[in-house]
Structure 1
Amino acid sequence: MTTTHTLDVAGARLHYEVRGSGPLLLVMGSPMDAEAFGPLADALASDHTVVTHDPRGISGSPLDDPEQDSTPELRADDVAALLDALGADSADVFGSSGGAVTGLALVARHPGRVRTLVAHEPPLLELLPDAAEQLAEADDIVETFHREGVGAAWMQFMANAGFDVGDGEDAAPTPPGEPTDQDLANSAHFFGHELRDTIRHVPDIAALTAPPTRVVVGIGVGSAGLITARTSRALAERLETAPVEFPGDHGGFIEQAKEFAERLREVLKN
């Protein structure tokens, strides 16, 4: 059974969902919402209390000021407030993409609140040797959004990320049907108020390597050609740890939810 809740935080109201029983596990993305993690959360709920949420400004989590930027630090504070609302001193955390960046900021800003963080493919462009070039491309994507809209911005974003944006069998997966008004609103928030701050986050390595938190960097087995595989390896190198492989590519938790859940269980137990 899944229960839904809301929580007032600074400048926003968060929508979050709770399912299952057992050790507390927070599963998060950015800009991905709770619905995107539903299959993974269902697969984990037999032995975990799984909490998912819509990040501020996305889907069911409206902002007081729609023009406010969503930074990893603000999102991390939201997650800490969520832990408080759940009455939890600490939890395991799985974050993917921008959600992994949120998790990294959470560990640094709220020491001791995270037991194990699994950071799956965080897009930390500042860690790359060609950071200046990559950040300039990201800025150009944002300009494309303002000039041509979300469709053109997504095409440029996916191509730069390393996905095949053609029509062949290796092309990046696309959601069925036309995007909803909510999809378009989420995309506009992402490109207009979230992307730049997320990719420019510089992780606090000292905080991430300080006990009691353990940080695991995850990379999809199918992500070899993606920029997030490069950023993940760069983070793992700075943490002096080996990255852990997960099923699928950047969206493996969607495409192979059951297999992904089993791998996540293994990682959390080790």
Structure 2
Amino acid sequence: MDIVDVPGAKLYYDIRGSGPLLLLIPGASGDARPFTALAEHLTAHFTVVTYDRRGFSRSSLDGPQDYSRRLDTDADDARRLIEHTGHRTAIVFGTSSGALIALHLLTRHPEAVGHLVPYEPPALRLLHDGQHWIDFFHQIYDLYRSSGIAPAMTLFRERTFVASDGYAMARAMDLSNPRVRANATYWFEHELRQYPAIAFDLDTLKRHAGQVIPAAGHQSQGRPCYRATAELGALLDRKLIELPGGHVGFATHPTEFADRLREFLEHHAP
């Protein structure tokens, strides 16, 4: 178990493999565990770092948090973790909320990013119907507050993702597990409404567009996160790449996902 102290938190992380540094930033659960199989398939080619984001699972908070700038803090955590490993830059893969963090890392600390793969970021303000989805996520939060985690998560999965993703997410969410409940609560309170509504610094992203490899799951076509990724690619003049599976393809199809991701990274990254 490896821990790095950062301002306001202690981050749990794992490092394995050899080769160029590849940082994997988790999504809504904030937990590194869904990356386990993917990371194992990548360690022959990369030094893979996975971690629990602050406030989730094994990464504890240390003192008061400034939730008004939480995305800044998440991006700073990623940069500090890269530096802690003894590297100046990393290839960065972020999924869902983690992809939003990865994009913000590029705008805030571009020197820390070699290449960036934002996988299905819920950058909803890029969509013509983005406000509809932002309003829907607020409705999900209200349902969570009135009826609890389970019904809110069910509606969220059914409306936002393809059925295969929803099934995989439901299987992974054992609400009898205190860790899972705590992670879900933290996400509902501090991320569900806040992160998808973020307006990115597109001018800065465009200056670093050559570092960005937008990616989405083949099965996610037509869903909001796929569409937002496609819009991001169009704005940056970067071709969208498709990877196996859907929104959680890295967990449901880890071998095929790792092989395709590696092929794209070896083509694009040094």
TM-score normalized with structure 1 length: 0.91
Secondary structure of the residue that 2:110 maps to in structure 1? coil
Identify which of 220, 225, 234 aligns with 1:223.
220
- Whether the 8 Å contact between 2:173 and 2:180 is mirrored in structure 1 is no
**Residues 75-113 of structure 1: per-residue CA shift (max 9 Å, x gap):** 101001111211211010111111111100000000211
Q: 1:53 aligns to what?
A: 51
Separation in 1, partners of 2:222, 2:209: 33
Q: 1:81 aligns to what?
A: 80
**Which structure: greater helix fraction?**
2
Secondary structure of the residue that 1:216 maps to in structure 2? coil
**Residues 123-164 of structure 1: per-residue CA shift (max 9 Å, x gap):** 011111112221111111111111111111101211221334
What's the offset of the Cα at 1:66?
7.5
Question: Aligned runs of 1:63-142 on 2, under 5 Å?
Answer: 63-65=61-63, 69=67, 71-142=70-141
Q: 1:246 aligns to what?
A: 243
- Which deviates the most, 214-223 or 24-33? 24-33
Runs of 5+ consecutive residues of structure 1 not aligned to the other structure: none
What's the offset of the Cα at 1:60?
0.5
Separation in 2, partners of 1:170, 1:135: 20
**Residues 9-42 of structure 1: per-residue CA shift (max 9 Å, x gap):** 1211111110111110001112231111010000
- Whether the 8 Å contact between 1:216 and 1:244 is mirrored in structure 2 is yes
CA RMSD, aligned part only? 2.0
Question: Aligned runs of 1:9-20 on 2, under 5 Å?
Answer: 9-20=6-17
Separation in 1, partners of 2:251, 2:258: 10
Runs of 5+ consecutive residues of structure 2 not aligned to the other structure: none
Q: 2:192 aligns to what?
A: 195
Percent identity over paired residues: 36
Secondary structure of the residue that 2:61 maps to in structure 1? coil
Q: 1:157 aligns to what?
A: 156
| Amino acid across the alignment from 1:51 | V
Secondary structure of the residue that 1:196 maps to in structure 2? coil
**Residues 193-235 of structure 1: per-residue CA shift (max 9 Å, x gap):** 1122210122222222324961011011111142111111111
Separation in 1, partners of 2:74, 2:228: 20
Separation in 1, partners of 2:258, 2:124: 27
The number of residues matched between the two structures is 263
1:159/1:207 CA distance change after superposition, 3 Å: same
| Amino acid across the alignment from 1:188 | T
Identify which of 25, 30, 48 aligns with 2:27.
30
1:41/1:162 CA distance change after superposition, 3 Å: closer
1:92/1:9 CA distance change after superposition, 3 Å: same
4+ residue runs of structure 1 moved beyond 6 angstroms?
A: none
Secondary structure of the residue that 1:15 maps to in structure 2? strand
What's the offset of the Cα at 1:44?
0.2
Identify which of 256, 261, 268 aligns with 2:258.
261
- Whether the 8 Å contact between 2:2 and 2:13 is mirrored in structure 1 is yes
